[in-house]
Amino acid sequence: MVMKRTTRLIAIGSILALAASCSSYRPRSVDVQKGEYYEDAEYAKLSKKDKEAYCRALATELEGLQGRSKKSEAEVAQNKEKIKSLTKDLREAEKNYAAYTAEIDELSRQLQALSQLPKTWKIRPGDCLWRLASYEEIYQDPLKWPRIWRSNQELIEDPNWVIAGWEVKIPRDYPYAYKVNRDEWLGKIAGYWEIYGDYRKWPVIFEANRDKIKDPDLIFPNEELVIPRQDTLQ
């Protein structure tokens, strides 16, 4: 009886041992694409099939990472070229800005100085239009006296004769309009220094006043002509 029981226990133990040896290791589930990997101890327990599948997943992920790395390198190279080009443009823009700022400052200074110059002048004993135009605070050029006369013809009939005490206008701007006087024609008007300073530019005045000038050789006193300037030309 004892012998039979012993034999039975040995048989049961053998079956349990065999069953234990037949049971397979079940690894935890990992997703390589999500950055999940097996520890060394876990990998060692994998079956050959699971190891092969895991290695294939690693190889696929590595290939994808290498592809994305090359693409990123190409994008970095392109961005470097763009940055280089933009930096060059920025430097050029800074130079232009500095130049424009200096130009604006100079124009502002000139405008400030111009605003302080007299817009009228009371004729003094000994003055004549020639001398008046030569004064530093007027035009600093005696040859510019005709503009004073043209702007004061209602007061000054004869430019060679002015009277002390008269108050005359001193025009400062470049006119955008001009009233025709006697014995004037388009070429003569274009030649005035305050107009264009070049008689050959009379067609510019003619084209801008075609609504009132039918014949460029025929204009009349008191006609108001448009004088195009660079800032008004299209």
The whole-model pTM stands at 0.52
pLDDT in tens, 91-112: 889 888 988 888 788 777 766 7
Cα 50 to chain center, whole Å? 62
**Amino acid 1: pLDDT:** 55
Residue with tokens 């133990």: 13
- Which portions of the chain are predicted below pLDDT 70? 1-25, 110-111, 113-114, 231-234
47 within 8 A of 25, measured Cβ to Cβ: yes
- In this structure, whether the domain defined by 118-226 belongs to CATH 1.20.120.420 is answered with no
**Amino acid 81: pLDDT:** 86
pLDDT in tens, 190-199: 999 999 999 9
**Amino acid 207: pLDDT:** 96
Minimal CA–CA distance to 198: which of 207, 186, 184? 186
